[in-house]
Structure 1
Amino acid sequence: MLIERTCDELAAMVGGCLVGHCEQKLNGVSSLKEAMSTDVSFLGNEKYRSQVMPSKAGVILVPKDFTEQVPEGRAWIVCENPSKSFSDIVCLFTPPPVTYSPGIAKSALISPTAEIGEGVHIGENVVIGDRVKVGGGTVLLAGVVLCQDVVVGSECLLYPHVVIRERCLVGDRVVLHAGVVLGSDGFGYDSGPEGHKKVPQVGIVQIDDDVEIGSNACVDRARFGRTWVQRGTKIDNMVQVGHNVVIGPHCLIVSQTGIAGSSVLGAGVIVAGQVGIAGHLHVGDGSILMAQSGLSKDVGPKSLMFGSPAKPRREYAKEQMYIAKIEGLTKELEDLKAKVSSLLNRS
């Protein structure tokens, strides 16, 4: 059933000032380009200002400095922070979350030695190995595999085809999206004239409470000890976490990042997309590694790093400024050489 609201109700909800009026009820949210007359949209970035007037959205949230005349039959809601206010409205129109009734699908394969808590939902073709423990209220959707001696806490949500390998530990309220793999062997080999001999990987992966890991991300088991993702950290899709890595609490790790073995990230670190972190490094608390950076040395707390090899952003920006001047300097040098040559020829 669609939730419907008037423009007056939405303006009151976000504490904004209503300019203009639309008669129809609003029942959805969309981008400026794709919105229809019953949708709410917003201007959260100046680069999209030109899309406001052509938009078909019935209501658009705009900043206080937006002064364009509102078309007839549409409305602006002028607010302090359109993006934040839009998020509040998105929550209003969001469908209720999918719920899963406790129970076990007939096709699930569960070891008789497994311990399953109360209120657990076990979907089709789930496989649960020997001595596995699953906490109360956890949801295991289709195709999840929990290998021997795995422990999964309470109120977790494991989407289809999550695989957790032997002896790995998952805390409470953890969300693992489709295709996550925890506990594959760490990538370790002793190389010699006869090839690459595998180094045994006998440690585990430990995922603490309130962690969320995106689709097709992989966290490898430790060579010994544990690969450890601490409380509240959020990891995006397609991230690779190597063996014995420690990721501190409340970090954000964005898609396509790779973290090599035994590196340690402090608390609250933000790692943007496609960052590469070499092995055995330490990243201080509160640091930010900007997109596509390649980190090859330790960095202290609250560092802002960019580039490959990564360096402080100000230093990187200064180098880029000088590089941009090289072409002009080269031309000046050629001109000077020509003048000197001309003078020498005269003498």
Structure 2
Amino acid sequence: MEFTINQIAQLLNGRVEGDGSHKINRLEKIQEGKPGGISFLSNLKYEPYLYTTRSSAVIVSADFQPSKPLFSTLIRVEDAYLGFTQLLESVEKLSKPTFYGVEEPAYMDASSNMGTGGYRGAFSYIGKNCLIGDRVQIHPHVYIGDGVTIGNDCVIHPGAKIMRRCRIGNYCEIHPGAVIGSDGFGFAPQPDGRYKNIPQLGNVWLEDHVSIGANTTIDCATMGSTHIGKGVKIDNLVQVAHNVHIGENTVIASQSGISGSAEIGKNCVLAGKSSIVGHIKLADNTTVGGNTGIMKSITKPGQTLLGYIGMEMKDFLKSYAVFKKLPDLQNKLTELEKKQ
């Protein structure tokens, strides 16, 4: 595929600064740019590369002002990151292979129904009494258990498993190896020291526009639903335990874990390796830093929490400033003890 800079600018509602007639045939990182490529500059940490890149075009925000001469033509848009994302989406639509029809062998029980315009890949399995919407892509080696419902325009990538009675909304994407509706970790201690399995009879409910990363697991509820709200984006290798509720438009990064019956608010951010204990609530718009553990409910919205045991960011930074000084304080204390 090849387009002129002017054509790309028109797609992004951008303004060209330089020669817009150059042809673009690939997307490139700004630090690796070569003629014929297009890059973007959003994080000013990468600004030095703008003056050395050989990309034919660079997408920048409208208010950005370069401080040195440039090789590249600029495309000015309202937000460079969002503009480049829009370009990626357009390229994906043009280059993405089209899947439709039924490959063999693929199995769907006679009691189940799938809408029009869909795709069933080889070795996929659809159990009894399933209801699947229009234009759904079910890739090879996908397992869909009995009684599952899936809305329109969903993509279930190879090797994903959706267990019995789970509900998937519209425009959801479940990446390879994800497991939706695995049994929750429920065991009752017995007088003799053994643990008795507690049946997990609930399901998982994903609302619309949810994305689940590769090899992420979401446990079914003991009763009711483990609920993932509209627009939630979950990265690879995340564990969501039974009866958890995650509010809409929350994002969760890789290797995070959420224990049973925790309630995560709307528009929250959980950075990598963060952990949430069970049966607590996290207020809306809370940001949990990487490797941070949340041990109690957070009721004040909009906080940023850091530390092994999550603290409000200002308190954590004050404590950390003291922590760094502990060796010096210890030496001073030792000197004072010697003088006594």
User: What residue number does 1:112 align with?
Assistant: 110
Aligned 8 A contact 1:28 1:93 in 2: no
Alpha-carbon distance in structure 2 between the residues aligned to 1:68 and 1:78: 17
- Change in Cα spacing, 1:95 to 1:37, as seen in structure 2 (3 Å) is farther
RMSD: 2.4
The question of 1:209 aligning with 2:180 is answered no
- Change in Cα spacing, 1:37 to 1:204, as seen in structure 2 (3 Å) is same
Alpha-carbon distance in structure 2 between the residues aligned to 1:204 and 1:81: 40
Give the counterpart letter for 2:329 in structure 1.
L
Aligned 8 A contact 1:29 1:93 in 2: no
User: What residue number does 1:257 align with?
Assistant: 256
User: What residue number does 1:294 align with?
Assistant: 293
User: What residue number does 1:344 align with?
Assistant: none
**Which blocks of at least 5 consecutive residues in structure 2 are unaligned?**
none
Q: Give secondary structure in 1 for the equivalent of 2:23.
A: coil
Give the counterpart letter for 1:198 in structure 2.
N
**Which blocks of at least 5 consecutive residues in structure 1 are unaligned?**
342-347
Alpha-carbon distance in structure 2 between the residues aligned to 1:119 and 1:22: 39
Question: What displacement does 1:112 show?
Answer: 1.6
Alpha-carbon distance in structure 2 between the residues aligned to 1:260 and 1:123: 34
User: What residue number does 2:314 align with?
Assistant: 314
Alpha-carbon distance in structure 2 between the residues aligned to 1:77 and 1:108: 47
Aligned 8 A contact 1:252 1:271 in 2: yes
Give the counterpart letter for 1:202 in structure 2.
L
User: What residue number does 1:234 align with?
Assistant: 233
Q: Give secondary structure in 2 for the equivalent of 1:328.
A: helix
Q: Give secondary structure in 2 for the equivalent of 1:33.
A: helix
TM-score normalized with structure 1 length? 0.87
Alpha-carbon distance in structure 1 between the residues aligned to 2:65 and 2:312: 34
Select which of 185, 189, 192 maps to 1:191: 189
Question: What displacement does 1:78 show?
Answer: 6.1
**Number of equivalent positions:** 334
Give the counterpart letter for 2:57 in structure 1.
V
User: What residue number does 1:45 align with?
Assistant: 43
Moved more, 262-271 or 310-319: 262-271
Give the counterpart letter for 2:239 in structure 1.
Q
- Change in Cα spacing, 1:41 to 1:109, as seen in structure 2 (3 Å) is same
Aligned 8 A contact 1:128 1:147 in 2: yes
Alpha-carbon distance in structure 2 between the residues aligned to 1:269 and 1:175: 20
User: What residue number does 2:220 align with?
Assistant: 221
Q: Give secondary structure in 2 for the equivalent of 1:331.
A: helix
Alignment identity in percent? 28
Alpha-carbon distance in structure 2 between the residues aligned to 1:290 and 1:14: 35
Give the counterpart letter for 1:281 in structure 2.
I
Question: What displacement does 1:327 show?
Answer: 2.3
Name which one, 1 or 2, has greater alpha-carbon Rg.
Answer: 1
Moved more, 8-17 or 198-207: 8-17
Give the counterpart letter for 2:218 in structure 1.
V
Give the counterpart letter for 1:271 in structure 2.
L
User: What residue number does 1:266 align with?
Assistant: 265
TM-score normalized with structure 2 length? 0.89
- Change in Cα spacing, 1:11 to 1:162, as seen in structure 2 (3 Å) is closer
User: What residue number does 1:303 align with?
Assistant: 303
Question: What displacement does 1:126 show?
Answer: 0.9
Give the counterpart letter for 1:60 in structure 2.
V
